[in-house]
Amino acid sequence: MDLMDRLASLAQRYEELNTLMAQPEVLTDMSLLQRYGRERAELEEVVQKYYELAENDKRIAEAQEMYEGDDLEIRELAFEELERLKARKEQLLQELKIALLPKDIMDEKNAIVTIQAGTGGEEAALFAAELFRMYSRYADNRHWKVEILNSNETAQGGIKDITFLVRGKGAYRRLKYEGGTHRVQRVPVTEANGRIHTSTAKVIVLPEADDDITVEIKDSDIRVDVYRSTGHGGQSVNTTDSAVRITHLPTGLVVTIQDEKSQLKNKAKALSVLKSRLWDLEEARRQEELSKERRSQVQTGDRSEKIRTYNFPQDRVTDHRIGLSRHNLQGVLNGELDEFIDNLITVDQANKLQHLFETEEAKV
Residues 140 and 129 in one domain: yes
User: What is the dihedral sign for C-alpha 332, 335, 341, 343?
Assistant: negative
CATH number at residue 202: 3.30.70.1660
Give me the pLDDT at residue 237, please. 46
39 assigned to some structural domain: yes
Choose the final residue of a domain: 63, 82, 99. 99
Give me the pLDDT at residue 115, please. 96
* Number of compact structural domains in the chain: 3
- Rounded to whole angstroms, the Cα distance separating 351 from 295 reads 9
Residues 190 and 44 in one domain: no
3-class DSSP assignment, residue 114 = strand
199 assigned to some structural domain: yes
Residues 65 and 129 in one domain: no
198 assigned to some structural domain: yes
91 assigned to some structural domain: yes
Residues 11 and 152 in one domain: no
Give me the pLDDT at residue 236, please. 46
- Rounded to whole angstroms, the Cα distance separating 305 from 199 reads 14
- Rounded to whole angstroms, the Cα distance separating 359 from 98 reads 15
Residues 86 and 23 in one domain: yes
301 assigned to some structural domain: no
CATH number at residue 275: 3.30.160.20
Q: What's at 214, amino acid-wise?
A: T
Q: pLDDT means per 10 residues in the chain (364 residues)?
A: 80 93 92 90 89 95 91 91 94 83 79 93 94 97 94 91 93 93 89 84 89 78 82 48 86 85 85 87 72 46 74 96 94 96 88 66 50
The two beta strands, 306-311 and 180-186, are parallel
3-class DSSP assignment, residue 152 = strand
Nearest Cα residue to 46 out of 116, 98, 118, 105: 98
Domain span including residue 125: 106-208+313-364
* Helix, strand and coil percent figures for the chain, each rounded to 5: 50, 20, 30
Residues 320 and 363 in one domain: yes
297 assigned to some structural domain: no
Residues 120 and 201 in one domain: yes
Residues 193 and 218 in one domain: no
Q: What is the phi/psi pair of residue 191, to 5°?
A: -90, 110
Residues 138 and 283 in one domain: no
Choose the final residue of a domain: 99, 122, 137. 99
Residues 81 and 112 in one domain: no
302 assigned to some structural domain: no
Residues 183 and 328 in one domain: yes
- Rounded to whole angstroms, the Cα distance separating 265 from 152 reads 19
CATH number at residue 42: 1.20.58
Q: What's at 335, amino acid-wise?
A: G
State pLDDT tens for residues 226-238. 887 665 444 444 4
Question: Can you name the residues that pair with 165 across neighbouring β-strands?
Answer: 112, 147
C-alpha triplet 150, 151, 157: angle, nearest 5°: 160
Nearest Cα residue to 116 out of 356, 303, 332: 303
Residues 80 and 35 in one domain: yes
* Whether the predicted model's global pTM rises above the 0.75 cut: no
Choose the final residue of a domain: 70, 99, 128. 99
54 assigned to some structural domain: yes
Give me the pLDDT at residue 300, please. 44
